[in-house]
């Protein structure tokens, strides 16, 4: 028998071991998976894999019937195949190899060993601890079936897919809140975690993000006009949950927005206000008109130069220092008939966000404020409408779904029929008078899919008025806007906007002599903006983008009317300019108490040719005798550029969950100016672009406030102070000739301004008795100090502006007797605005002259007004053709003869002061509203 060496024996043992391993491996590879599946139901793929392997699968059939998958396997082991198959689903799996069984679970992970520290040993770092970042896990609130049915709770929602490798103590829940009736986003929806202090709110686009503890959470939502809801959410990972909510119509009679009532304390931005269009429903206003801008005037820090004055003055700023937007496009004059009525249909208007302190970084071009007015999306489920008939106006809005739950159209129209009233008055001078206006708006909304939405708006308004027999005045607004909102990713949203705005006014003069003429003015701008928002994490939210505008201004033209007119044609050369900006902002959460909103914006402006510009001798006043040169600029050539960085910084510190301190500083540039030498603005004021001789305005503002909520946000109290400085603000020489002046810079003065004040507001948000009381102490002062007397006002000292009103009190109350009947009241008190009086006469060269005081040295009488209203709703039967609402109101109940202006005439050599008033007697009105 042959003998084998030790080496040969060892080699034989090695070969035997290799054969055993090879055989075992091949036995394991018996479960290699192959196959190709094209959009196949997940259930079918799982059963096919089960048939090709030795393993049995255990699962609930409902879990695997909702997904379809496209995938292919090529001799792939079971674990690898299942990893890829379930990677984009909510399913996890667990394999028992000895028993050849596979268990599928939804969202959760099955662990086959306990973590270290479970029985008291030192814990492993992977164990979830709910106390990191100061996070406190909520006390569990479990709803049984009876509670779920009684409170109409939504089904439990599981968010994300658990992973042992990425276990955390908390996860981010984000999404969008949508009105199920209209399809439009719900702004300022309060989202609160029950039994905790965790709360957030949706932004203007309905988006929200909140950090929740891992595992079970009960969340509640509330907003004005939206049914309260509660739902249970189990967090396994970061994920999305869109909140589709029903309207709650029984809340529409509240005066004050209840939604996100804590935002006044929790937001970082100072000086911001939100007004819902429904807030004007129960407030008695002139001739029964619902007017969101008049409601804004009742808030601290916002006023106007007087009753019947166009425009608003915000924190001591001029009316041209407000950026007024309608669906992102600029509206230059949002009022009708000298500011008495708003030029916005109340039934298509959703609301307005007002920024009078630290405005968001995306806005620019104005020094004082932003009024961001939004229209509603049309109803995407059924045809709906709303309208009103009042003493002088009629309003109507119709909502038509184009594709159910996807797209809609809303059409609004309103008009005045005051002409017949003027002609019926027993006053011969008014028989040929005319006072009419109309406006219309169309908005298209299309929810293309869950990630893309398009909104397109078109708006037009026109006023015609003629109080004298020889002149017909008209002015109009036209705008178009298109906006595309897109969800780029789970954490990034974008918005692309393009729009065009046009404002014109004209005068048709038909006199007794051969001097008939037609006069026109117009300003047009085209705007483009692209902005993005990225939620980097729970502590950082970035807002960034760029914007541009192109201006074209017709400074004025006059043409003869008729062949017999002796008026010569004249046309001032057009002005053109380009404005642009890039911006980035970060809402930085330092900790649960300290929130900072930091933004940087770079603004740029260039006045463009074709144009000619004068230069003037240095150290001499600007007039015809000091012209040094005339420069010609070619088409598109830069005449002059202005701009620079703009800082937006605001911060909030929570002293307690319902008490905070806020502070903010910002600076801004303004490149447009209004030209008017009237004491109050009018619709025929002209806009002027900055150029070689008229510099851009600059503004700086600092604000500090304290904010407090009481009784679970039923009451809110705020006290905020501000200080503003302005450079290059405009005023005019005495007797300035502004319109159709090719060299208007010779009539203009530029100087400094300052404004400061304190604003107090106490508001009751809920209950049968609700409303607010606002008080403002403010000053607005200007200084024009130049080397030469003709360019100096009041010896170069600060003097009150035309709209300086130190004391301003507004009281809005609403008392609901029943669900159908309520009383409302509105009281306003304001210090009389400044005025320049004649203080004597003197004789020179055998002629008498009047000597005037320093500019704005005196004041007209104080203004106060009380309005009362009674509101009666129709019955609340569910199956009615239409819901009705009657408003009975009396404007100026006390009959106060508040002066609109004071002027002086000479009668038999004696100077007499006269005043004009708009509404000097009580004005009753009855308005019928209906909704279907």
State residue 358's pLDDT score. 84
502-538 burial, b if ≥16 CB within 10 A, otherwise e? bbbbbbbbbeeeeebbbbbbbbebbbebebbbbbeee
Q: Picking from 272-281, 479-488, 618-627, which range would have the lowest pLDDT averaged per residue?
A: 272-281
CB 81 within 8 A of CB 42: no
For residue 388, give Cα distances in angstroms to 27, 393, 524.
82, 8, 33
Burial (CB count <10 Å: 0-12, 13-18, 19+), residue 903: exposed
Name which of 51, 43, 56 is nearest 85 in CA terms: 43
Most confident among 160-174, 242-256, 405-419, 456-470 (mean pLDDT):
405-419
Q: What is the mean pLDDT of residues 589-601?
A: 92
Tokens of 506: 């004209």
Is residue 92 helix, strand or coil?
A: strand
The two beta strands, 170-179 and 239-240, are parallel
Q: Is the pLDDT of residue 636 over 80?
A: yes
CB 405 within 8 A of CB 379: no
For residue 68, give Cα distances in angstroms to 36, 41, 62, 86, 449.
13, 4, 13, 11, 19
| E strand residue ranges, 299-392 | 302-303, 313-314, 322-326, 329-330, 335-336, 341-342, 349-355, 369-375, 384-389
* CA–CA separation, 109 and 272 (whole Å): 46
Name which of 236, 213, 38 is nearest 135 in CA terms: 213
Is residue 271 helix, strand or coil?
A: coil
Binned at pLDDT 50, 70 and 90, residue 467 comes out as low
What is the value of pTM for the model shown? Answer: 0.75
- CB atoms under 10 Å from CB of 624, counted, come to 9
State residue 117's pLDDT score. 53
Q: What is the mean pLDDT of residues 501-512?
A: 86
Instruction: Tell me the per-residue pLDDT of 727-778, one tens digit each, with 9 for 90 and over.
Output: 999 988 877 777 788 888 888 899 999 999 999 999 988 888 888 999 999 9
State residue 669's pLDDT score. 96
State residue 33's pLDDT score. 84
State residue 411's pLDDT score. 96
Instruction: Tell me the per-residue pLDDT of 846-895, one tens digit each, with 9 for 90 and over.
Output: 766 677 788 888 888 899 999 998 988 876 565 666 778 888 888 889 98
Instruction: Tell me the per-residue pLDDT of 429-439, one tens digit each, with 9 for 90 and over.
Output: 555 667 788 99
Q: Is the pLDDT of residue 496 over 70?
A: yes
CB 176 within 8 A of CB 210: no
* CA–CA separation, 620 and 880 (whole Å): 75
How would you write 607-653 as a 3-class SS string?
Answer: EECCEEEEEECCCCCCCHHHEEEEEEECCCCEEEEEEEEEEEEEEEE
For residue 252, give Cα distances in angstroms to 203, 226, 383, 458.
21, 9, 20, 27
Q: What is the mean pLDDT of residues 376-387?
A: 90
Instruction: Tell me the per-residue pLDDT of 565-577, one tens digit each, with 9 for 90 and over.
Output: 888 888 888 999 9
Q: Is the pLDDT of residue 588 over 60?
A: yes
Q: Is the pLDDT of residue 924 over 90?
A: no
Half-sphere exposure of 824 (CA within 13 A, CB side): 28
Tokens of 26: 């091949």
State residue 128's pLDDT score. 35
State residue 285's pLDDT score. 72
What separation, in Å, do the N-terminal and C-terminal C-alpha atoms of the chain show? 110
- CB atoms under 10 Å from CB of 598, counted, come to 16
The average confidence (pLDDT) of the chain is 82
The residues with which 527 forms a beta bridge, in sequence order, are 499, 549
Q: Count H helices and E strands in the chain, helices first.
A: 7, 57
The two beta strands, 434-449 and 243-245, are unpaired
* CA–CA separation, 418 and 857 (whole Å): 38
CB 555 within 8 A of CB 521: yes
Binned at pLDDT 50, 70 and 90, residue 27 comes out as very low
Binned at pLDDT 50, 70 and 90, residue 258 comes out as very low
State residue 354's pLDDT score. 93
State residue 679's pLDDT score. 52
Dihedral, CA of residue 328, residue 332, residue 334 and residue 335, to nearest 10: 180
Tokens 């929602």 correspond to: 157
State residue 283's pLDDT score. 75
Binned at pLDDT 50, 70 and 90, residue 322 comes out as very high
Name which of 824, 932, 821 is nearest 874 in CA terms: 821
State residue 135's pLDDT score. 39
Between 630 and 261, the higher pLDDT residue: 630
Binned at pLDDT 50, 70 and 90, residue 153 comes out as low
Most confident among 9-18, 22-31, 670-679, 756-765 (mean pLDDT):
756-765
* CA–CA separation, 211 and 194 (whole Å): 14
Q: What angle do CA 479, 326, 438 make, to 5 degrees?
A: 60
Under 8 Å CB-to-CB from 86, ≥6 apart: which residues? 92, 93
Instruction: Tell me the per-residue pLDDT of 610-633, one tens digit each, with 9 for 90 and over.
Output: 999 999 998 888 888 899 999 999
Tokens of 821: 């009947």
For residue 174, give Cα distances in angstroms to 186, 491, 537, 850, 903.
14, 8, 11, 70, 60
Dihedral, CA of residue 878, residue 875, residue 221 and residue 354, to nearest 10: 130
State residue 369's pLDDT score. 94
* CA–CA separation, 101 and 95 (whole Å): 6
Binned at pLDDT 50, 70 and 90, residue 581 comes out as very high
Q: Is the pLDDT of residue 495 over 90?
A: yes
CB 139 within 8 A of CB 195: yes
């Amino acid at each position: 028998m042959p003998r084998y060496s030790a080496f040969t024996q060892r080699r034989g043992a090695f070969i035997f071991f290799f054969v055993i391993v090879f055989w075992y491996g091949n036995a394991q590879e018996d479960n290699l998976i192959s196959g190709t599946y094209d959009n196949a139901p997940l259930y079918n793929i799982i059963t096919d894999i089960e048939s090709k392997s030795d393993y049995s699968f255990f699962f609930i059939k409902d879990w695997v019937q909702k997904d379809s998958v496209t995938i292919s396997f090529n001799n792939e082991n079971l674990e690898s195949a299942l990893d890829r198959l379930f990677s984009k689903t909510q399913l996890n799996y667990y394999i028992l190899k000895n028993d050849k069984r596979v268990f599928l679970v939804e969202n959760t992970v099955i662990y086959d060993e306990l973590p270290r520290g479970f029985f008291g040993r030192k814990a492993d770092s992977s164990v979830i601890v709910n106390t990191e970042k100061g996070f406190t896990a909520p006390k569990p609130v479990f709803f049984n079936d009876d509670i779920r049915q009684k409170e109409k709770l939504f089904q439990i929602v599981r968010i994300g897919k658990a992973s042992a490798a990425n276990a955390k103590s908390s996860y981010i829940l984000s999404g969008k809140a949508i009105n199920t009736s209209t399809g439009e986003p719900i702004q300022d929806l309060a989202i609160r975690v029950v039994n905790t202090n965790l709360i957030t709110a949706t932004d203007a686009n309905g988006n929200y993000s909140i950090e929740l503890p891992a595992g079970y959470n009960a969340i509640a939502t509330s907003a004005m006009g939206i049914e309260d809801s509660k739902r249970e959410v189990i967090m396994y990972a970061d994920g999305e949950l869109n909140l589709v909510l029903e309207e709650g119509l029984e809340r529409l009679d509240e005066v004050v927005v209840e939604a996100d009532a804590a935002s006044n304390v929790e937001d970082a931005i100072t000086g911001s206000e939100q007004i819902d269009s429904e807030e004007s429903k129960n407030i008695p206003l002139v001739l029964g008109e619902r007017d969101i801008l008049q409601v804004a005037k009742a808030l601290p820090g916002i006023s106007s130069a007087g009753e019947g004055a166009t425009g608003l003055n915000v924190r001591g700023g001029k009316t041209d220092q407000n950026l007024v937007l309608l669906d992102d496009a600029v509206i230059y004059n949002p009022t009708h008939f000298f500011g008495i009525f708003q030029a916005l249909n109340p039934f298509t208007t959703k609301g307005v966000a007002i920024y009078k302190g630290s405005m968001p970084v995306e806005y620019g071009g104005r020094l004082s404020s932003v009024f961001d007015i939004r229209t509603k999306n049309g109803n995407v489920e059924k045809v709906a409408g709303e309208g009103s008939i009042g003493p002088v106006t009629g309003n109507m809005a119709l909502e038509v779904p184009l594709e159910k739950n996807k797209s809609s159209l809303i059409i609004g129209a309103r008009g005045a029929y005051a002409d017949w009233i003027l002609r019926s008055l027993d006053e011969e001078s008014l028989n040929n008078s005319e006072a009419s206006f109309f406006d219309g708006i169309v908005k298209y909304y299309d929810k293309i899919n869950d990630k893309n939405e398009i909104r397109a708006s078109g708006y037009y308004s026109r006023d015609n008025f003629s109080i004298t027999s020889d002149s017909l005045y008209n002015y109009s607004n036209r705008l178009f806007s298109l906006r595309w909102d897109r969800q780029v990713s789970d954490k990034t949203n974008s918005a692309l906007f393009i729009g065009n705005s046009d404002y014109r006014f004209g005068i048709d003069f038909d006199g007794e002599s051969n001097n008939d003429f037609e006069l026109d003015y117009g300003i047009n701008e085209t705007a483009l903006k692209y902005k993005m928002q990225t939620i980097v994490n729970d502590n950082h939210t970035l807002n960034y983008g760029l914007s541009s505008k192109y201006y074209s201004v017709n400074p004025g033209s006059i043409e003869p009317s008729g062949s017999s007119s002796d008026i010569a044609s004249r046309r001032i050369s057009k002005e053109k300019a380009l404005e642009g900006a890039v911006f980035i902002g970060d809402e930085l959460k330092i900790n649960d108490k300290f929130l900072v909103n930091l933004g940087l914006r770079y603004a740029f402006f260039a006045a463009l040719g074709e144009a000619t510009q004068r230069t003037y001798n240095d150290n001499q006043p600007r007039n015809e005798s000091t012209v040094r040169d005339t420069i010609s600029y070619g088409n598109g050539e830069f005449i002059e550029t202005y701009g620079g960085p703009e800082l937006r910084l605001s911060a909030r510190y929570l002293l307690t969950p319902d008490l905070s301190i806020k502070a903010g500083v910002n600076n801004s540039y303004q490149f447009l100016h209004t030209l008017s030498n009237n004491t109050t603005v009018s619709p025929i004021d002209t806009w002027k672009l900055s150029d070689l001789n008229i510099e851009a305005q600059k503004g700086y503002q600092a604000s500090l406030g304290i904010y407090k909520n009481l009784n679970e946000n039923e009451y809110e109290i705020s006290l905020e102070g501000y200080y503003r400085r302005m450079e290059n603000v405009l005023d005019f020489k005495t007797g300035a000739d502004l319109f159709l002046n090719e060299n208007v810079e010779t009539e203009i003065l530029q100087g400094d301004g300052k404004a400061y004040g304190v604003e107090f507001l106490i508001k009751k948000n809920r209950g049968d008795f609700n409303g607010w009381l606002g008080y403002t102490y403010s000053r607005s002062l200007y200084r024009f100090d130049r080397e030469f007397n003709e360019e100096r006002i009041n010896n170069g000292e600060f003097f009150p502006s035309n709209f300086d009103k130190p004391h301003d009190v507004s009281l809005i109350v609403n008392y609901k007797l029943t669900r159908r009947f309520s009383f409302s009241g509105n009281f306003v008190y304001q210090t009389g605005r400044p005025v320049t009086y004649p203080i004597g006469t003197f004789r020179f060269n055998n002629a008498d002259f009047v000597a005037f005081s320093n500019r704005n040295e005196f004041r007209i009488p104080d203004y106060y007004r009380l309005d009362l209203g009674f509101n009666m709703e129709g019955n609340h039967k569910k199956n009615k053709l239409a819901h009705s609402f009657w408003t009975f109101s009396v404007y100026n109940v006390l009959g106060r003869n508040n002066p609109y202006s004071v002027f002086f005439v000479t009668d038999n050599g004696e100077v007499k002061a006269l005043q004009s008033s708009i509404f000097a007697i009580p004005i009753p009105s009855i308005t019928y509203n209906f909704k279907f």
